[in-house]
Each structure stands twice: as C-alpha cells, then as structure tokens.
C-alpha cells in the first residue's frame, strides 16, 4: 500500500467516525491557497472546505487553517523556517499543499 493510500484511509476513517478526536487541517501554498488575489470576491477552496467539514459534515471541532500567501515561490515554500512557522507549529493532522 502506498503512503497516499494509507493517508486516504486515515482521512476516510476520520470522517466515518463521529467519535474521532478533532483534527487540525492546514492549507499551505501560494495565491491558489490564499484565495484573495484571484477569487474576485468568491470564497477560496480552504473556505469551502471548512464549510463542508465543520458545518455540513458536522465536525464542529476540526480546525481548518489557511496559511497561503499570494506570490510565494517554491523556494520560499520549501524554506524550513517558513514551513515551521506556517505549518509545523499547528501540529496538523493533515497538510494540504495548493500551488499554481
């Protein structure tokens, strides 16, 4: 089984079990993640995801954090200090990387 399959199974189990402990989801990336520059006033994917998870699926205590910054480059995203500040400090259960 690949790591992606293992991760998908863990996420599926989380959503299948209403008794599971709340998770922290961190979105990390550039303007695609940030959502301010190109959405023309519409919601970004992390906002839509948060609404789906917390409201529609009723995982009220899951936390969804958007650390995307418009204009970030791959070099900046790979910088360990930036990653520590924008992702690791939240001790996420899931990290979603969105780059364009």
Q: Helices in 24-87 by DSSP H: which ranges?
A: 31-34, 45-50, 74-78, 80-86
Tokens of 83: 């990653």
If one counts every other C-beta atom within 10 angstroms of the C-beta of residue 59, the result is 19
| Per-residue pLDDT tens digits for 44-53 | 899 999 999 9
Q: Read off the pTM.
A: 0.91
Decide: 17 and 81 in contact? Cβ < 8 Å.
Answer: no
DSSP 52: I
Which pLDDT value is given to residue 42?
Answer: 80
């Amino acid at each position: 089984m690949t790591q992606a399959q293992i991760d998908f199974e863990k996420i599926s189990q989380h959503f299948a079990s209403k008794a599971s402990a709340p998770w922290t989801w961190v979105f990390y990336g550039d303007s695609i993640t940030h959502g301010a520059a190109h959405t023309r006033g519409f919601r970004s994917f992390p906002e839509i995801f948060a609404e789906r998870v917390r409201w529609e699926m009723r995982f009220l205590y899951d936390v969804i954090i958007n650390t995307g910054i418009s204009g970030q480059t791959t070099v900046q995203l790979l910088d360990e200090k930036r990653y520590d500040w924008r992702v690791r400090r939240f001790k996420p259960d899931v990290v979603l990387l969105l780059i364009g």
